[in-house]
Structure 1
């Protein structure tokens, strides 16, 4: 099970969260990565934790002011990137171009989608993984694995029907070890979460609870 912690633009200490994630990953043997703001990528990568970008833009070098260049993300220490999060939606052609950009920089990719139908569509573009995240549940108290377990099952089936080499992650409302276990029972091979760790008073304790069922 892969745990990807998206720090979004929350007012947390990215180095504190990254250090906690590194230590919990080392202690538990569970793969944990942290996706900070682009400006904090180097600081987070310097802790030794697996580091992901929250986004890369669908362009190469050139006149692209305000873009997040995949090569720059990789040079800062990131080894993967999210794409098409519900809070940063992209056109299908741009997702495809961002996947190409990530490929140039040798970044692992996870494309987010709202439902199984969209999961099938983005799986066809050839990412390493996809993540199903119903937007109405993001940041809420109810994990998708409880609120709508069929959407996770159906997303796993939809991705497998297109390309069974693409992993399927579960996001939205995940915050506890029980949520992680439930996601795994539904066929997910990873989880995305944000506020459950980024807003926690004790990020390490929150991460230890997440990995407890996986030890």
Structure 2
């Protein structure tokens, strides 16, 4: 299982979380951290797999305020999250951001609210898509419990378009039980944020997530 921890803009030392992730010994899970852009280099230096929270659909040039793929790669990122519910993109911009990620060889995951959006996202050719009903983000109630059919239908939707696109489960993931439930519904990874980023002991929180695997 792939576990992507999105640190968002929480007031947490990203290096502390990255070091915690690097310390977790689990052959059953692959853990990555998505810090703020300004912290990518510091997180990458810990040796943990590091993702950008966003890439802009731009090339080198006059693009003030953009997150350039090449700059994120130079800082040590190897993947990117796109179209999170807190940073929605137009379809054309998602496509452009995927092209930007492809220029630097990034792994990619496009977020979507529901199976219909998952189908559209999968058609753009990312490595993975993540189903995240926005009303459950940060709720502590995982989508695998609130509405497991959304996860099953998202897996079917992605497979109907491109069977090579992995499906991740996000929104409300906070325990190892949630991760196991997501796997049983067909997901090959999970996205989470507050369950680790707000934990008193991020290493313990991560261990609790992956130990049941």
**If the TM-score is normalised by the length of the shorter chain, which range does it land in?**
over 0.9
* 1:9 and 2:9 correspond: yes
SS at match of 1:58: coil
Other-structure match for 2:41 = 42
Which residue number corresponds to residue 92 of structure 1? 91
Please say if 1:57 is aligned against 2:56: yes
Q: CA deviation at 1:89?
A: 0.1
Q: CA RMSD in A?
A: 0.4
Question: What is the TM-score of this pair, normalised by structure 1?
Answer: 0.98
CA distance in 2, matches of 1:82, 1:8: 11
Matched ranges for 1:80-159 at <5 A: 80-159=79-158
Deviation at 1:28, TM superposition (A): 1.2
Q: 2 CA distance for matches of 1:74 and 1:120?
A: 28
What TM-score does the superposition give when structure 2 sets the normalisation length? 0.99
1:23 deviates by 1.1
Which ranges in structure 2 are unaligned for 5 or more consecutive residues?
none
- Aligned equivalents of 1:197 and 1:120: distance in 2? 29
- Report the counterpart of residue 200 of structure 1 in structure 2: 199
Deviation of 1:33 after TM superposition, in Å, equals 0.2
- CA displacement at 1:213 relative to structure 2: 1.1
Query: Where does 1:150-169 land on structure 2 (aligned, <5 Å)?
Result: 150-169=149-168
What is the CA-CA distance between 1:146 and the residue it aligns to? 0.1
- Alignment partners' CA distance in 2, 1:75 and 1:65: 18
How many residue pairs get aligned? The number is: 212
Q: Give 4+ residue runs of structure 1 displaced > 6 Å after superposition.
A: none
Q: Which runs of 5+ in 1 are unaligned?
A: none
- d(CA) in 1 for partners of 2:91 and 2:78? 23
Could you list the per-position Cα deviations for residues 168-209 of structure 1 after superposition, in whole angstroms to 9, with x for gaps in the alignment? 000000000000000000000000000000000000000000
Q: SS at the partner of 1:165? A: coil
